[in-house]
Structure 1
Amino acid sequence: MNNSISHGVTAENSRLWITVALCFTVALLEGMDLQAPGIAAPGMSAAFGLDRMAMGWVFSAGILGLLPGALAGGRLADRIGRKAVLIMATALFGLFSIATAYAWDLWSLVAARLLTGVGLGAALPNLIALTSESAGERMRGFAVSLMYCGVPLGAALAATIGIAEFSGGWKVVFLVGGLVPLLILPLLMFWLPESAAFRAQQSRRGEVSTSVWRSLFRDGAATPTLLLWSSYFFTLLVVYMLINWLPTLLVGQGFSASEASWVMFAFQIGAVFGTLVLGLLMDRLSALALSALIYCGILGSLAGLGLSSQLESMVAAGFLAGLFATGGQSVLYALAPIFYRTEVRATGVGTAVAVGRLGAMSGPLVAGQALALGAGTAGVMAATGPGILIAAGAVFVLLGRKSNEQS
C-alpha cells in the first residue's frame, strides 16, 4: 500500500517537473521573440529607412497579434486541450519569426510581426494553465514563477545576441528565435503531459456550464476579473514600453547599440531575479507590503531610467526596472488561475492576458507619439505614473482576496 502511494507521488512529481521544464523552454523562446524587435530596432530601422512612428507600428503589430492569440488560445485550450494549442502556437510563432527576417518592406514586416504575435499570445495562457494545474494549490505560485523565468531569460538571450553583433546583423535574432521553436516541437508532442485537471473536466463536461462571460462575471468572479484586467493593462503597458523602446531611447541619448544591449541584458537579468523572488514572497508578505514593494520599485526604477546619464547607473536602473516590472508581471500570472474554475481557467487567464496586451500595445504607441511630439525620455517615463498607481491598488486588493480565500 505504502509503495503504491509512494510510486504515485513520484510519478506525479515527475509529471510536474517535466511540465515545468518544457513550459520553461517554450517561455524562454517566447521571451526571446518578444524582445527581438527591440534588440533589432536600430538595424531594422536603418535597413528599411523607418522613422520612429513607423517603428512604433512594427512594435505594436506584434503586440496587437498577442491580443487575438491570447483570446483564441485560451478559449480553444478549454475545448481541445492545453497541450495541442501550445504545440500549434509554438509552430506559428517559430515560422513567422523566420518570416520576419525575410521581410522586404514595412508592411511585410508588420504582417510577419502580427502573425508572430498571434502565436506568442496563444502560447502564454496555456503555459500558465498547464503549469498551474500540474502544480496544484500548494506549489502553484512557485511553479508558475519558475516557468515564467524563461521569458526574461529568453529576452536576455536576445540581448546577448545584440551584444555579440553577429555578421548577419538584425536578422540573426529572428532566425534563432524561429528555428529553435520548430526544433523542440517533437519534445512537446511526445513528452509534454496534458493537464490532469483538464482531462478530468473533459469527462464531466456535460455537467458544467461553459458560458465564457457568465463564468468570468458570475458567483463573485466579476470583481477579481475587473481587478486583474486593470492590473494587467497598466503593468504590461510599462513592461512593453521598456522592452520595445528602451534600446532606441538609449541610442538617442548617445549610448551605442552595444551599450543599449547591455542595459537590456541587465533589465532581463533583473526580471529573472524579480520573477523568482517576488514569486516566493507572494505567500510570505502581506498584500500591502508586496504591492507597495512592486509598484514603488517600478516608479523608482523608471525615475532612474529617465534621469541617469552614465552607463553604470543606467545598467543599475535597468536591472531594477526588470526586477520590479517583469517580476510584478509574474505575480499577476500566478494570481490569475486562482480565481477561475478548471473548465474556464485558460479562458479566464487568456482574457486577462488579452486585456494586458491592450496595455502592451498602447505602451509603444504612446511612447512613440510622445517622442514624435518632442517629449524626452524622462517625460515618457513620468507619463506612466498614474497607471502604475491604479495597477498597485488592483494588485493590493487581489492579494488580499487571495489571502482571505486561503485562510
Structure 2
Amino acid sequence: MEKSDNKHAIVTVAICFLIAVIEGLDIQAAGIAAAGIREYFGLDSSQLGVFFSAGILGLLPGALVGGRIADRIGRKKVLIWSTAMFAIFTLCTVWVNSFHSLLAVRFLAGAGLGAAMPILITLASEAVSPQNRGRAVGLMYCGMPVGAAILSLVAMTEFGANWKNIFYLGGLLPIIVIPLMIFFLPESREFLKAKDQAQQAETPVQQGAFKNLFDAENRLRTLCLWTSYFFTLMVVYIMLSWLPSLFTELGFTRKDGATAQFYFMMSATVGTVILGMLTDRWKKAYVILLMYGGILGGLFALNGAGSLTQMYMAAALVGAFVIGCQGVLYAFGGIVYPTQLRGTGVGVASAVGRVGAMMGPAIAGQLLAAGFGAAGVISAAIPCIIISAIFMLVLVRRIPA
C-alpha cells in the first residue's frame, strides 16, 4: 500500500511540475517576445503595456473559477481542460492579425493558466500526507523558475530570436503533456474519499462555497492568506518584470540585466525546494521569519551592492527567497483549508495575489517615471514584505505547528 502511495505521489507531483514549467515559460514569454510583437503589430509603449496586462488579467477569472469547479467535479478533469485552453490560445497568439484579437487570445490563455495553478497546488497537496505537503508543493512549483530559465536560454538562440517560435513552444508543450495527464495522472484520493463518503451517507457531495471562506473557522485564515498573497506577489512580479531594467537604471548593460534574471531564476529553483522542505520540518513561524528575512536581506543587498558580481549575488538571493516564498504561500493554501474547500480557497487566494501581481509592475513603472530610480522601486517593495510577514505570522498561530 505504501509503495502504491509513493507511486501515486511521484506521478502526481512530476506531472504537476511539468505544467509549472509551462507556466514559467509563459511568464517569460511576453517579455522576451515583446520587441518582435511590437514591430509585427506596430504597437506603441502604451499598447505594449496593455498586452502585458492582458495575460495577467486573464489569470484572475481562471483562478477564481478553476478551483471552484475542481471542488465540484474533480481536480483531474478541470486541469486537463484548463491546460488545453491555455495551449490552444497560446498557439492562437501566433495566428492573430490585429491588436484586439491579440489581447483576446492572451486573456483567454491567461484564464486557462490561471485555472490550472490552484489545481496543481491542490493535487500536489493531496497526493501526500499532511506532513509532506510543503515539500510536495515546493517540488511541484520549482518548475516555474525552471521554465523561465529555460526560455531565457532559448531566447539567446537563433530559434528564440523569432517571437512566433516562443509561442509555438509555449503552445505545443502543453499539448504534449495533456496525454500524460489523461493516461497517468491519478485523481486526488482525498477528493474521491470525500465523494465516496458523501454517497455512502446518501447526502449530496459536500462542496466548499465562497461564503465558507468567511465562516467562523476560516475568516481570519482567509484574510491573512489574501493579504500575504497580495503583497508577496506584488514584489514577485516587480522583480520578474523589472529586474533587467533596474540593472540598466543602475548603469549596467542590458546583457548584465538578462544574466541577473537567469541567476534569479536558477536560485529560485533551489530556494523553492528547500523552503518547501523546511515548511514540513521546522516550526512554521521559523520558516516565515527565514523567508521574509531572506527577501529583505536580498532587497537591501540590491540597493547597496556596488560591483556587478555583488549585484548578481543579490539578484540570486532575492530569487531564492521571493519565488521560494511564493511556493511556500501556495503550500499554506493547501494546509489551511479542508479538502472540500481547498480548490476554492487556493483559487480565490491566487486571484487576490494576481491583483497584486498586476499592480506591482505598474507601480514600479510609475516610480521610475517619477524619477525615484531603481533604489526607489526596491525601497517601495520593503514595506510590502514586512506586511506580508506580519500577516503570515498571525496565520501560523491558527494552524497546527
**What TM-score do the two structures reach when normalised by structure 2?**
0.91
1:390 — aligned with what?
387
Q: Does 1:333 align with 2:330?
A: yes
> Which deviates further from its counterpart, 351-360 or 96-105?
96-105
Alpha-carbon spacing, 1:253–1:182, altered in 2? closer, same or farther (3 Å): farther
Q: Does 1:163 align with 2:160?
A: no
**How do 1:98-117 and structure 2 match up within 5 A?**
98-117=91-110
Alpha-carbon spacing, 1:285–1:42, altered in 2? closer, same or farther (3 Å): farther
Gaps of 5+ in 1: 1-7
1:3 — aligned with what?
none
1:232 — aligned with what?
229
1:74 — aligned with what?
67
Superposed displacement of residue 301, structure 1: 2.1
Task: Give the secondary-structure state (helix, strand or coil) at the position aligned to 2:322.
Answer: helix
Q: Does 1:262 align with 2:274?
A: no
> Which deviates further from its counterpart, 181-190 or 286-295?
286-295
Tell me how many residue pairs correspond in the alignment.
Answer: 397
**Root-mean-square deviation over aligned CA pairs:** 2.2
2:371 — aligned with what?
374
Residues 169-192 of structure 1: per-residue CA shift (max 9 Å, x gap): 333322211111112211111110
Contact 1:32 1:155 in 2 (8 A): yes
| Alignment equivalent of 2:140, drawn from 140, 143, 147 | 147
**How do 1:138-217 and structure 2 match up within 5 A?**
138-166=131-159, 168-203=161-196, 204=198, 206=203, 209-210=206-207, 212-217=209-214
Superposed displacement of residue 52, structure 1: 4.5
> 2 CA distance for matches of 1:183 and 1:286?
40
**How do 1:242-257 and structure 2 match up within 5 A?**
242-251=239-248, 255-257=252-254
Alpha-carbon spacing, 1:281–1:90, altered in 2? closer, same or farther (3 Å): same
> Which deviates further from its counterpart, 22-31 or 247-256?
247-256
Q: Does 1:321 align with 2:333?
A: no
1:289 — aligned with what?
286
Task: Give the secondary-structure state (helix, strand or coil) at the position aligned to 1:312.
Answer: helix
Residues 115-160 of structure 1: per-residue CA shift (max 9 Å, x gap): 1210111011111111111112122111111111111111111111
Superposed displacement of residue 387, structure 1: 1.6
Q: Does 1:97 align with 2:90?
A: yes
Contact 1:38 1:243 in 2 (8 A): no
Alpha-carbon spacing, 1:11–1:351, altered in 2? closer, same or farther (3 Å): same
Q: Does 1:119 align with 2:112?
A: yes
1:352 — aligned with what?
349
Superposed displacement of residue 256, structure 1: 4.8
Gaps of 5+ in 2: none
> Which deviates further from its counterpart, 47-56 or 136-145?
47-56
Contact 1:215 1:221 in 2 (8 A): yes
**What TM-score do the two structures reach when normalised by structure 1?**
0.90
1:32 — aligned with what?
25
Q: Matched residues, percent identical?
A: 47
Contact 1:287 1:397 in 2 (8 A): no
Letter aligned with residue 377 of structure 1? A
